[in-house]
């Protein structure tokens, strides 16, 4: 299985916008349309498509935010697998690739994310990768998790 992480461009934007969040997850994460709008408004966000071989199966948005913490923070801000591709273990495979990408791209000591605590499946996935709650909450009152590299 070959994983590709590709920036959102004019060539793949329409396909990215077709990605769907599973109904039961809609209160946990924004749509790709909202994510791309947020990325236009904040230059730190990097929206990407997550591909298995040549098939788009998920979406993520991450970035380095200066002025947070001592030297800024790397945030994995949005991450989901398209509803029709869930239940196949792809969340684990793609999160692993994404973490490797963030470490390579930013050479960071930590990766941060925030999560709606009721999203038990995502909490379980992130804990499996070494993320833990750090006691903080973000501006949406979501709980912050951090992974030490």
Among all residues, which ones are annotated catalytic? 126
Q: Count Cα neighbours of 108 within 13 Å in the Cβ-side half-sphere.
A: 26
8 Å CB contact between 59 and 49: yes
Rounded Cα gap, residues 85 and 131, in angstroms:
24
Rounded Cα gap, residues 22 and 110, in angstroms:
29
């Amino acid at each position: 299985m070959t994983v590709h992480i590709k920036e959102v461009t004019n060539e793949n934007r329409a396909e990215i916008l077709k990605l769907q969040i599973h109904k039961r997850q809609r209160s946990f994460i924004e749509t790709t349309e909202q994510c791309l709008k947020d990325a236009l408004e904040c230059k730190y966000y990097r929206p990407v498509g997550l591909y298995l071989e040549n098939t788009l199966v998920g979406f993520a948005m991450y970035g380095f935010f200066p002025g947070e913490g001592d030297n800024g923070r790397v945030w994995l801000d949005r991450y989901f697998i398209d509803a029709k591709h869930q239940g196949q273990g792809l969340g684990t495979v793609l999160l692993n690739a994404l973490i490797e990408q963030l470490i390579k791209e930013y050479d960071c000591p930590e990766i941060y994310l925030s999560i709606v605590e009721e999203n038990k499946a995502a909490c379980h996935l992130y804990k499996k990768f070494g993320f833990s709650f750090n006691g903080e909450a973000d501006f949406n009152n979501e709980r912050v998790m951090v992974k030490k590299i």
